[in-house]
Amino acid sequence: MNTLQKYIETHRNRFVEELFDLLRTPSISADSDYKPQIAKTAKQVASALEKIGCDHVQEIQTQGNPVVYADKIIDTKLPTVLVYGHYDVQPADPLDLWESEPFEPTIKNTLIHPEGAIFARGACDDKGQFFMHVKAIEYLITTNQLPCNIKFMVEGEEEIGSPSLEATIKEYKELFKNDVILISDTGMISNTQPSITTGLRGLSYVEVEVTGPNRDLHSGFYGGAVANPINILSKMIAELHDENNKITIPGFYDDVLELSETDREEMAKAPFDQQTYNKSIAISKEAGEKGYSTLERSSVRPTLDVNGIWGGYIGKGAKTVLPSKAYAKISMRLVANQDPDKITELFTRHFLSLAPESVTVKITPHHGGKAYLTPLDSIGYQAAHKAYSQTFKTPPIPQPSGGSIPIVSLFNDVFGSHTILMGFGLNTDAIHSPNEHFGLFNFFKGIETIPYFYQHFTELYKNS
Amino acid sequence: MNTLQKYIETHRNRFVEELFDLLRTPSISADSDYKPQIAKTAKQVASALEKIGCDHVQEIQTQGNPVVYADKIIDTKLPTVLVYGHYDVQPADPLDLWESEPFEPTIKNTLIHPEGAIFARGACDDKGQFFMHVKAIEYLITTNQLPCNIKFMVEGEEEIGSPSLEATIKEYKELFKNDVILISDTGMISNTQPSITTGLRGLSYVEVEVTGPNRDLHSGFYGGAVANPINILSKMIAELHDENNKITIPGFYDDVLELSETDREEMAKAPFDQQTYNKSIAISKEAGEKGYSTLERSSVRPTLDVNGIWGGYIGKGAKTVLPSKAYAKISMRLVANQDPDKITELFTRHFLSLAPESVTVKITPHHGGKAYLTPLDSIGYQAAHKAYSQTFKTPPIPQPSGGSIPIVSLFNDVFGSHTILMGFGLNTDAIHSPNEHFGLFNFFKGIETIPYFYQHFTELYKNS
């Protein structure tokens, strides 16, 4: 056991206890009722960074939730690593599907995590994952081994699309200046097969409202003679995909980079079994865009999903109402080269064109973000590759992901630096779902792997 | 002013106060949380009937909510009128659209009701309307003018499809035995043009549940590769109508009685202006089955409406979830000759056939009911016709309605007697909607008209 492993072993329980404290605050950014909890969590993060010996710890006020900043500058001639994380979490509903309280973290064993996993909203996404960095830096500072400069940026609006971050990083561009950005907010293939996320999908997210009559009507007196906004909305949604599950929005695929045959062959090598996949989520058949594999459909192809729908009477029993309004939240995952603003505009134009004269339609865009690809020949990627290889005893596989972290392409634009996605979660960790969890193995393996990144990155930087 | 009008004038305020008391109890049958309020309302109804001098007042216990019975048998050789009403009400949501408290009745003037209208859930449907009968009978008993026997049946499950009523009336068939049934639970054309509802549509009501994966998934990791139950449900709903707004369920129209050209011409004579109709509910264009007029579509043609839909994230802000389940409540209004059980079966078979292999679908039937037509040559209809003509100074127009009172065809089957639908509400009274109300003119005109029905019916009965 080396010094790093010994340090982790000694402080194991304290690390978990400290993370539990953070997980107990329901910092839900999507619901403004949780503003006080957001504020409290920002303070908890700042205090955790202060405790490990960081300097210039501060809460940067934004239009929305504060961004926590901290740094440790040991030598301005050395490179600077910026660690990005987010302290906000997804809403916990549906609450009745949680087997333990979402904001009362608890450790339970699972088949995939026989050594235990922390169950709580945010356990993996992203409190557990950014906290690995806090503890890895604690080790490097405490043992006087930090090989380069480090900066932290922990924001509180990632789950709602980081609406204030662009203005903030532009205003504080000098403060956040860096040579590489590290983010642990993605996953890896398995605990025995590490992988590094090398691609992220972009996102366009809209809310639509279809209005028929100006009030809820009795479906007996008006049914059949007045357009029902739920029926109409259903029809409009149905028309967004064709019989091959291609998205029908004119121009939607225009900017999509098609994979080369070589890329597709490379991707097909990743370990994947359709039967296991289907079984893991209890479906009898997969579905998706004709002509593409499940891995392609869920990472390098653009998609359109209704994330929520509601309208009319949704209580117990029967009510014969012809409702005034029906609503849906619709998101599109985008791939490299697709511009989210353009896609939102194409969606809006097309969706409005689907509306019959008998209803009115209102479309409100939520947040969006561009897709991103990490260059495999960058020193950041190479340093991460070496770090994983050392602690996992096997090299990590580069993998495009279907998820979105919209700020990654923004970072590239503003700082000109690459982002390395050192995720330690697993696909089965149920992030954004009830019973979100994060393996203790993954948490500690992350803390162990991160210091090696700093060592290799500084060396490669000096030699470059 | 005759004695009847004088009696109403003298007791005006008391009548309204008594109705207010009844309206203050939220007797919502669709939600079992309101069981105590249902029980309280049944007692209020029983006590009101006792007070006006009825005999044998009792609450008949059923599998569900009690049925209140009362009678006044003056001579077994005379005919018996059974008055049916219901003391349960629709849920009041969406609450935020009410301009006054739904269960705190208040009188406000409106353009259509310049002399004032009572605003409350149940004001028209049906507490206000059955209470007209209670007060009309109060007059007849008090002044010793009751010309025949009278029985009351006031139930508490109409708004959920009267699930217990069939068993109850079969068990108590002798008790409820009658020569004609009077119901005030429908409307009329306007306060200057009375009409009598001569047809009711039937109803088939189902709840559908579409399940994709066994838990909510992250739409980034799974979106595009796993069937989204909301998208699928939307598509299935869209397929229930064709481009002419005909219902696509095979066999759906098989038993529908098509209107003769004469019937259609007769219907077209009813005063109706499409522009006024559209304006009254703020739509820019009507919609419906091709080849039929608005009046036909909303009364004598069968329909299919989604009454409620829900699934995924429906809170504030954005959540990128691919939900496990999506739900809809779907009802079909049926016309004379269509059998609701058969239609429910046809719907179920067809809807299941629309489901792709990637999801599972569960269909739960709610209540149903057959359509009904009142014969215009029955003495009941003729008596009502005379009564309206006397108090409105103009003859009422016979009108088929698009609404459903499923128990009406059941009454016909069990008692062999006709139902006369003496409604005094207006289409604009917003029943089943926020701000339900009932005009004071209509309430008092109902109390004034009903006694004439008894007089004419008894005379016609004696001469028949």
Spatial distance between the Cα atoms of A294 and A281, rounded to a whole number of angstroms:
14
Tell me if chain B has a CB within 8 Å of the CB of A276.
no
Nearest to B282 among A205, A214, A431 (CB): A214
Say yes or no: B363 contacts chain A, CB-CB below 8 A: no
> CA torsion sign, B158 to B159 to B162 to B164?
negative
> Do the beta carbons of residue A301 and residue B233 sit within 8 Å?
no
Write the residue in B228, B295, B430 that is nearest to A306 by C-beta: B228
How many other C-beta atoms lie within 10 A of the C-beta of residue B462?
12
Name the percent of chain A lying above pLDDT 70: 100
Under a CB-based contact definition with an 8 Å cutoff, are residues B424 and B117 in contact? no
Residues 33-62 of A with CB under 8 A from B: none
Tokens of B181: 């049934």
Which of B205, B286, B357 is opposite residue A226, by nearest beta carbon?
B286
Q: What's the CA gap between A230 and A223, in Å, rounded? A: 12
Asked whether the beta carbons of residue B234 and residue A238 sit closer than 8 angstroms, the reply is yes
**Mean pLDDT of the region A20-38:** 97
B252-276 mean pLDDT:
88
Whether residues A283 and B327 touch (CB distance < 8 A) is answered with no
Q: What pLDDT, in 10s, does the model give residues A261-314?
A: 887 887 787 889 999 999 999 999 999 999 999 999 999 899 999 999 999 999
Indicate the domain borders of chain B. Answer: 3-200+371-463, 202-256+302-366
Six-digit token pair at A309? 């729908």
DSSP per residue, B126-180: THHHHHHHHHHHHHHHHTT---SEEEEEEES-GGGT-TTHHHHHHHTHHHH--SE
pLDDT digits (tens, 9 = 90+) for B378-403: 999 999 999 999 999 999 998 888 88
**Residue-by-residue DSSP string for A345-402:** HHHHHHHHHH--TTSEEEEEEEEEE--EE--TTSHHHHHHHHHHHHHHSSPPEEEE-S
- Does B148 contact chain A (CB < 8 Å)? no
Q: At what angle do helices B35-51 and B3-23 cross, to 10 degrees?
A: 160
Q: What is the pLDDT of residue B390?
A: 97
Q: Which CATH number fits domain A202-256+302-369: 3.40.50.300, 3.30.70.360, 3.30.450.20, 1.10.3720.10?
A: 3.30.70.360
Residue found by looking up tokens 């088929």 in the block:
B400
Average pLDDT, chain A: 95
Give the H/E segment covering residue A10. Answer: helix A3-23
Radius of gyration from C-alpha coordinates of chain A: 23
Instruction: Give the CA distances from residue A327 to residues A313, A314, B240, B419, in Å, rounded to whole numbers and listed in that order.
Output: 13, 13, 20, 41
Q: Does A203 touch chain B (CB under 8 A)?
A: yes
Q: Mutate which of A110, A200, A211, A222 to test chain B, going by most B C-beta atoms within 10 A?
A: A222
What number of C-beta contacts closer than 8 Å exist between A and B? 369
ipTM of the modeled complex: 0.78
Say whether domain B202-256+302-366 belongs to CATH 1.10.10.10. Answer: no
Does the domain at B3-200+371-463 match CATH 3.40.630.10? Answer given as yes
Which of B30, B102, B177 is closest to A313 using CA atoms? B30
Considering only CB atoms, B312 lies closest to which of A233, A241, A307, namely A307
For residues B128 and B16, give the distance between their C-alpha atoms in angstroms, rounded to a whole number: 9
Compute the nearest-CA separation of A2 from chain B (Å): 36
- Across the interface, of A234, A303, A366, the residue whose CB is closest to B318 is A366
Nearest-angstrom CA–CA distance, A381 and A386: 9
Question: What backbone phi and psi angles, to 5 degrees, belong to B399?
Answer: -140, 125
> What are the backbone dihedrals phi and psi of residue B210, each rounded to the nearest 5 degrees, phi first?
-110, 125
DSSP letters along A203-253, please? EEEEEEEEE-SSS-EEHHHHBTTB--HHHHHHHHHHTTB-TTS-B-STTTT
Tell me if B3-200+371-463 shares its fold with B202-256+302-366: no
Under 8 Å between Cβ of A231 and B446? no
The string of pLDDT tens digits covering residues A80-126 is: 999 999 999 999 988 989 999 999 999 999 999 999 999 999 999 99
A307 interaction partners in chain B (CB closer than 8 Å): 219, 230, 312-313, 318-323
pLDDT(A133) > 80: yes
**Under an 8 A CB cutoff, do A329 and B318 touch?**
yes
* B445 contact partners, CB below 8 Å, separation of at least 6: B191, B391, B392, B424
Q: How many CB atoms lie within 10 A of CB B270?
A: 15
Q: Is B224 in contact with A303 (Cβ distance < 8 A)? A: yes
Direct distance between the N- and C-terminal alpha carbons of chain B, in angstroms, rounded to an integer: 32
Average model confidence (pLDDT) across chain B: 95
Q: Please give the pLDDT value at position B464.
A: 87
pTM of the model as a whole: 0.79
Write the CA distances from B438 to A215, A223, A390, B115, B123, integer angstroms.
Answer: 17, 22, 79, 11, 6
- Alpha carbon distance B364, B343 (integer Å): 14
A323 with B317: Cβ contact below 8 A: no
The nearest alpha carbon in chain A to B328 belongs to A314
**The token pair that represents A454 in the structure block:** 């700093």
Q: Tell whether the model's pLDDT for residue B406 goes beyond 80.
A: no
Q: What does DSSP say about strands A325-334 and A195-200: parallel, antiparallel, or unpaired? A: unpaired
- Contact yes or no for A319 and B434 at CB 8 A: no
Output the pLDDT for position A3. 94
Q: Contacts of residue B323 in chain A, CB cutoff 8 Å?
A: 307-308
Q: Over 90: is that where the pLDDT of B223 sits?
A: yes
- Which one of A32, A321, A351 would you mutate to disrupt binding with B, by most B Cβ within 10 Å of its Cβ? A321
Distance CA B425, CA B323 (A): 43
Which pLDDT belongs to residue A109?
96
